[in-house]
Chains A and B, each alone.
Chain A
Amino acid sequence: MNVLNKPLEIRTSPHLKSSVSTNQIMFNVVIALLPVTIFAIYSFGLAALLMLSVTTIAAVLTEHIYCRLNNKESTVGDWSAAITGLLLGLTLPPALPLWMAVLGSIVSIMLVKVLFGGLGYNVFNPALAGRAILQAAFPVAITTWHPAFLADRFTHIPSSSLAWPFTTATYDAVAGATPLGNMKFNHVAAEVSDMVLGMTSGSIGETSAVLILLGGAYLVARNMMNWKIPVTIFLTVAVFSGIVHFFNPTTPTPLFMLFSGGMMLGAVFMATDMVSSPITDRGIIVYSMIIGIMVVVIRLWGGLPEGMMYAILMGNAVSPLLNRALKSRVYGTGRKGGAK
């Protein structure tokens, strides 16, 4: 092409751009979640497989249909809707009726993400906020646990999973209890080694601490996750619950706190959500400490056995304020913000 005919492109800075795109980051998150997902399907069988496929497909379809109805180009190609669906599925109990899971996916995408302006504008982590709404709407169903490693898990789907939409589910006679539930209501602590390996009952993707940390390490190694968030949360929880445990030995040990419930999954994959966490380093430290303190407070003194979801949502809620309060100083300006 002749030089003169070539259109002149005028762009503003930055002129050097990273080759990493949203799609790539999101795709890598999916890869990081794979070990957790595979282990979840191994430990909970068909129930987990169905649940995860249903939430992911429902989330992607919701976003696709919304874009189509508004004559916009479909945004499902950036993988974020798939991740929202997958993460939502991982936080739900395995035998939750599937229609509730679909409802949760629709709420996550429509109410929490799209209504606020889509990817990059949502205040709250869509998957967690969707789960919070499910918890408020169906408090009984979402706290009915299903035991892991049942003998017939690959041939038998729990009857509650297939409940007709809008009807109450009948649960299989066998019921499981999570380590946190046992701790809170029966004062029985589970073995930490069981919780690290994922031998306990709980939400689909929260049981195996080792595999969650492995996925997190992969993302950190690829520089696609801020390691300061999970590390600060773990430190805060360990120190705070350690102090409480020292003065009152009937409370759970810091190790139990770290490896039980949604602590690992939440700290590694939810609290690190790039959209709903603060931007600055100082903001991130305060944000992570708020999450760490809130989760211990809810677990020890709240009515619910688990508080990770609400702790992260509270952290999300204050992160715009933290962004404003803890701005980093612009190079060349004085401490008060004005020019020197």
Chain B
Amino acid sequence: MDTNTFIKGLWKDNPVFVQVLGMCPTLAVTNSATNAMAMGLATAFVLIMSSTLVSLLRNFIPKQVRIATFILIIATFVTVAEYLIQAISIDIHKALGAFIALIVVNCVILGRAEAFASKNSVGKSILDAAGMGVGFTFALLCLGAVREILGSGTFFEYQVFGHGYEPWVLMILPGGGFFTLGAWLLLFNYMKERKAAKMQEISA
């Protein structure tokens, strides 16, 4: 088992905070922690399933039509995910709206299929997809948590502050998504830079 394949998606190559991919769902549906969680899990599901299938079929897919084939495979699992969400909670399905169908064009998924799953064994591909999926969910939760706590004063619909809390309406509007993402990117880059400086200090 190659644990690094799994771990890198969580932190070092995090799809949102490091690769800055999949911005559309990241900004659009993270106005509450619940929505962020649902979107993250749905994307992780599609990511793992499609990576598995792509990896299994990697020797049969002609090179010329590989992108079209990947999209077809991804779209199949997005349809499955859409019906699953509809069956589990109609409210979440309504809240996520068109963004469930748009998982098809999430570049994290196609990116992993093209860059990793089409070149590696099934086991490795599943590990990689799971790492990326968990990393994506984690990033969405980071955004969703901040936006819901500041914008509605709740976390997973549980009151965080007392009843007197004045919500920052801006945070659940699109603008708040950009502000929150910017702040998280700032924090991540700061930590990365500090770590790099420390490494240099040790080697010097």
Contact = CB atoms under 8 A, between A and B. Distances in A.
A158 to B, nearest CB: 16
Interface string A159-190: 00001101111000000000000000000000
Interface residue tally of chain B, by bracket?
10 to 19
A118 interface: no
A163 B166 CA distance: 10
B170 A136 contact: yes
B188 interface: no
Contacts of B170: 133, 136-137
Nearest to B164: A167
B169 A137 contact: yes
Contacts of B165: 166-168
Contacts of A167: 162, 164-166
Q: Which of A97, A137, A139, A168 has the most CB of B within 10 A?
A: A137
Interface of A is mostly: loop
B169 A138 contact: yes
A141 interface: yes
B62 interface: no
A137 B169 CA distance: 5
B169 A136 contact: yes
Interface in A278-314: none
A164 B164 CA distance: 9
Contacts of B169: 136-139
B108 interface: no
Interface residue tally of chain A, by bracket?
10 to 19
Contacts of B166: 97, 138, 141, 163, 166-169
Q: Which of A141, A163, A166, A167 has the most CB of B within 10 A?
A: A166
Contacts of B175: 133, 136
Interface of A: 97, 111, 133, 136-139, 141, 163-164, 166-169
Given A164-B164, A166-B166, 20 more contacts: A111-B179, A133-B170, A133-B175, A136-B169, A136-B170, A137-B168, A137-B169, A137-B170, A138-B166, A138-B168, A138-B169, A139-B169, A141-B166, A163-B166, A166-B165, A167-B162, A167-B166, A168-B164, A168-B165, A169-B166
